Amino acid sequence: MWPSSLLLAVALTYFVVDKFWLSKARPHSESPVRAPLRPPSPNKSIAVLPFVDLTEKHDQEYFAGGMAEEVI
């Protein structure tokens, strides 16, 4: 197993090389490049899942079905 001081030295070396040496090789731009936004779709839709009767007697299924129909 590697000693923790060796792992710390490797991590610190990587940070220094990446921050000061490799960052100069990368081009810097003033503004980040962003992907163009998609225009909003004109057709909007909604999915309605059926409601479930969770009462103890299970006698309110007609109400659950009616709620789903009204939402649709």
- Burial code (b: 16+ CB inside 10 Å, e: under 16) for 38-57 equals eeeeeeeeeeeeeeeeeeee
Provide the 8-state DSSP code for 8: H
pTM: 0.34
pLDDT in tens, 30-55: 556 677 777 777 787 778 888 888 88
Residue 66 clears pLDDT 80, i.e. is over it: yes
Q: What pLDDT is recorded for position 58?
A: 83
Give mean pLDDT, residues 12-24.
75
CA-to-CA distance for 13 and 7, rounded, in angstroms?
10
Over range 16-34, report the average pLDDT: 65
